[in-house]
């Protein structure tokens, strides 16, 4: 393993995360499942990649001026990542979030110096109207203060943030003597699955791209939104960044099964990850069973389970 020299900024610590093979939770006779561990990024989330791309893209275009306030609505991981990037670059930041998300995320945003506005949720669940209410609050701040809206759901700079992730997957699988047969991941803004898909296809990969979502909110597969407790995904809409050329297929995963898998990942694989990571793994295992031995399914653990320790995810 090689290590870089001294980095001039914590922003350069983003990326370069490991890709590991799951040994214990994947059944015998299935394809190998490789998991990209994004918890190694500075805030413990792959959203660090996107946050840097959103801010630096705006800087290059001249739509974000020195000292201008940045605004975004967020389930927490994007907010934490934007708070980190804005702290390093010196931008004031206002984030709109909800008490439906893990309190660790709100505390992280405030620790980096962001102003945080909390929109009440309903029964601790991510409901179809929650993101609409958060978006309305953020829009009001932009109108009143002339702030720059990072706009993660529409900003195509998000793709650039995740091309590095796609290139890393290609290099890591090739150096390990494998090729990607399927790449699957749950969809929030869809920036990650879109960015990785573009890289794989530009490289000539024939990998199948599969979007995952909780069966309790099957917007992509059925067109119906519903409440759930998987943070960071299934926001109740088909995200604008998820264009028709990105996907080959969309599938649902049972949320209860994903929550059980989070515990298995910790206790059998030594991987402490959240519910969206576990949902990705459950979806990947289903695909691995169908493909069989001699194939490779790649998915992503978007963040670290350290963000979810105050909830009930790891009880049992």
> CA 263 → CA 23, 132, 266, 271, 276, distances in Å?
15, 32, 5, 9, 13
Supply the CATH number for residue 113's domain.
3.40.50.1100
CA distance 95 to 51: 13
- Among candidate residues 84, 115, 149, the one where a domain is terminated: 149
Same domain for 179 and 271, yes or no, is yes
Stretches where the chain sits below pLDDT 70 are 1-3, 316
- Residues 224-266 have pLDDT tens digits of 988 888 877 877 888 888 888 899 999 999 999 999 999 999 9
Same domain for 25 and 109, yes or no, is no
Among residues 36, 45, 47, 77, the one annotated as catalytic is: 47
Q: Is 47 a known active-site residue?
A: yes
- Owning domain of residue 231: 10-40+165-308
Among residues 77, 80, 215, 276, the one annotated as catalytic is: 276
- Residues 204-217 have pLDDT tens digits of 999 999 999 999 99
Same domain for 253 and 201, yes or no, is yes
| Overall domain count for the chain | 2
Question: pTM score, two decimals?
Answer: 0.92
Whole-number pLDDT of residue 241: 87
Residue 4 lies in a domain: no
Q: Is 77 a known active-site residue?
A: no
Same domain for 33 and 170, yes or no, is yes
Residue 147: how many other CB atoms lie within 10 Å: 20
Q: Are 288 and 33 in contact (CB under 8 A)?
A: yes
Whole-number pLDDT of residue 312: 81
Residue 169 lies in a domain: yes
């Amino acid at each position: 393993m090689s290590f870089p020299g001294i980095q001039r900024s914590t922003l350069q610590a983003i990326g370069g995360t490991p890709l590991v093979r799951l040994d214990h939770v994947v059944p015998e006779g299935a394809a190998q499942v490789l998991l990209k561990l994004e918890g190694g990024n500075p805030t413990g989330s792959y959203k660090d990649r996107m946050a840097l791309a959103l801010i630096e893209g705006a800087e290059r275009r001249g739509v974000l001026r020195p000292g201008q306030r940045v605004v975004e609505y967020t389930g927490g991981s994007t907010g934490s990542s934007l708070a980190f990037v804005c702290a390093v670059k010196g931008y004031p930041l206002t984030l709109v979030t909800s008490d439906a998300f893990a309190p660790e995320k709100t505390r992280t945003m405030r620790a980096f110096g962001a102003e945080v506005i909390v929109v009440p949720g309903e029964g601790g669940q991510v409901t179809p109207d929650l993101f609409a209410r958060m978006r309305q609050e953020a829009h009001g701040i932009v109108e009143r203060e002339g702030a720059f809206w990072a706009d993660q759901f529409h900003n195509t700079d998000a793709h650039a943030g995740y091309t590095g992730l796609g290139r890393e997957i290609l290099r890591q699988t090739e150096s390990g003597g494998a090729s990607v047969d399927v790449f699957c991941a749950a969809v929030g803004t869809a920036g990650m699955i879109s960015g990785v898909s573009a890289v794989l296809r530009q490289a000539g990969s024939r990998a199948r791209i599969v979007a995952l979502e909780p069966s309790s909110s099957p917007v992509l597969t059925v067109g119906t939104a519903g409440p759930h407790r998987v943070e960071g995904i299934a926001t109740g809409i088909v995200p604008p960044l998820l264009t028709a050329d990105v996907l080959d297929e969309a599938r649902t995963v049972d949320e209860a099964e994903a929550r059980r898998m989070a515990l298995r990942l910790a206790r059998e694989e030594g991987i402490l990850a959240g519910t969206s990571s576990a949902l990705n793994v459950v979806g990947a295992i289903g695909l691995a069973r169908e493909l069989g031995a001699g194939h490779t399914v790649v998915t992503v653990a978007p963040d670290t389970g350290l963000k979810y320790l105050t909830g009930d995810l790891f009880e049992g």
